[in-house]
Structure 1
Amino acid sequence: MSDSSQPQRALDQTAFDEWPDSIRALFDGSSLASKTGFTASLLTVDVNQHIRTSLLGIGELYAPDSRTLCIALWPQARAARAIARSGRAALSFVFDDVFYQVQLLAAPLPSADGDDSGLVYMNCSIESAETQSVQYARLTSGITFELDVGREKVLDRWERQVEHLKRAASSGG
């Protein structure tokens, strides 16, 4: 029986500087087909100081260790230009009923040998991060999507992208 005279904490926040094990497993580059639908919001600030959001799927994210996240971006993406200019971004997402927000310091990664994707790779380290949840409500999802037409082509591309991220991270991170 709970004591109703005790005020319930409205917001539970936890700071971290290393990926929790569940997030490392999410960003480990394996089993991408089972992780489709996961979406993270990459927030950057453009030259006009406008906040911009880019949505990333699981095939564009790879955590080679507990403090790093490698990201694959299209070179024409506003996020790629903003990160190249500022060296900063924030990543937010929902996973296992919890909201994550991670402040990242970013630097370019060299393309891996044999990479002809045209993608830009970023090596990001966790500057600061936190989780947020509330006891009275459960986050059931963030932004999610379904792969429809061309699902196999997208999954094949993601597999190649993550392999390139892995090689780039191991050779130049």
Structure 2
Amino acid sequence: MSDSPAPPRPLEQNVFDEWPDAVRALFDGSSLASKTGFTASLLSVDTNGHVRTSLLGVGELYAPDSRTLCIALWPQARATRAIERNGRATLTFVCDEAFYQVQLRVAPLPCVEGDDSGLVYLICSIDSAETQSVRYARLTSGITFELEEEGKEAVLDRWKRQIEHLKRTAASR
């Protein structure tokens, strides 16, 4: 047997139960125009056992504190129905050169007076979470998108309204 140390593990995994600072800054509801392009995948399992995915931008995600995430979803999305049925979802994304996978417990948020968006608002708590990265490569992005110039301002305005709704409902819980 050799007394030499084991070689370093190529995969770094870190478990967390509070949003790291970089994620809190990403999901703080501010500077939405500068954060366009970021995409998170919200995964859920339907009654047939099929995985359903909703792709979300920063205008649909808001972290009011270190352990909570509020989400705005379209009611007709299959992922929305699956989440409403079982109260569970998984959020995956790339941030700060790491891959994040967060298991969430999900509950509905109440409607706020004057909201006519038609969106479903949810509040989530971290059940378990981890990051993964490797020493030999940097993750620079996950799924990304670019807003079309025509309609860009309308999307950013909608996102601002959605974030305000999430802030108000999160504060009233």
The TM-score bracket by the shorter chain reads over 0.9
RMSD: 1.2
Question: 2: distance between equivalents of 1:96 and 1:20?
Answer: 10
Letter in 2 for 1:42: L
Letter in 2 for 1:37: G
Moved over 4 A (4+): none
Partner residue, 1:140: 140
Partner residue, 1:84: 84
Cα drift, residue 97 of structure 1 = 0.9
Identify the range of structure 1 (5-14 vs 40-49) with the bigger mean alpha-carbon deviation.
5-14
Report the identity percentage: 76
Letter in 1 for 2:92: S
Partner residue, 1:158: 159
SS at match of 2:84: helix
TM-score normalised by the chain length of structure 2: 0.95
SS at match of 2:156: helix
Structure 1 residue 109 and structure 2 residue 109: aligned? yes
Partner residue, 1:94: 94
Alignment of 1:1-173 (within 5 A): 7-148=7-148, 149-172=150-173
Number of equivalent positions: 169
For residues 42-63 of structure 1, the C-alpha deviation after alignment (integer angstroms, 9 at most, x for no partner) is 0000110101111001100000
For residues 52-79 of structure 1, the C-alpha deviation after alignment (integer angstroms, 9 at most, x for no partner) is 1110011000000000000000111111
For residues 2-61 of structure 1, the C-alpha deviation after alignment (integer angstroms, 9 at most, x for no partner) is xx9851311000000000111111101000000000000000001101011110011000
Question: 2: distance between equivalents of 1:95 and 1:150?
Answer: 27
Unaligned runs of 5+ in 1: none
For residues 101-124 of structure 1, the C-alpha deviation after alignment (integer angstroms, 9 at most, x for no partner) is 000000000012211101000000
Unaligned runs of 5+ in 2: none
Identify the range of structure 1 (108-117 vs 31-40) with the bigger mean alpha-carbon deviation.
108-117
**Structure 1 contact 89–105 (Cα < 8 Å) conserved:** yes
TM-score normalised by the chain length of structure 1: 0.95
Question: 2: distance between equivalents of 1:54 and 1:12?
Answer: 27
Question: 2: distance between equivalents of 1:5 and 1:63?
Answer: 41
**Structure 1 contact 112–165 (Cα < 8 Å) conserved:** no
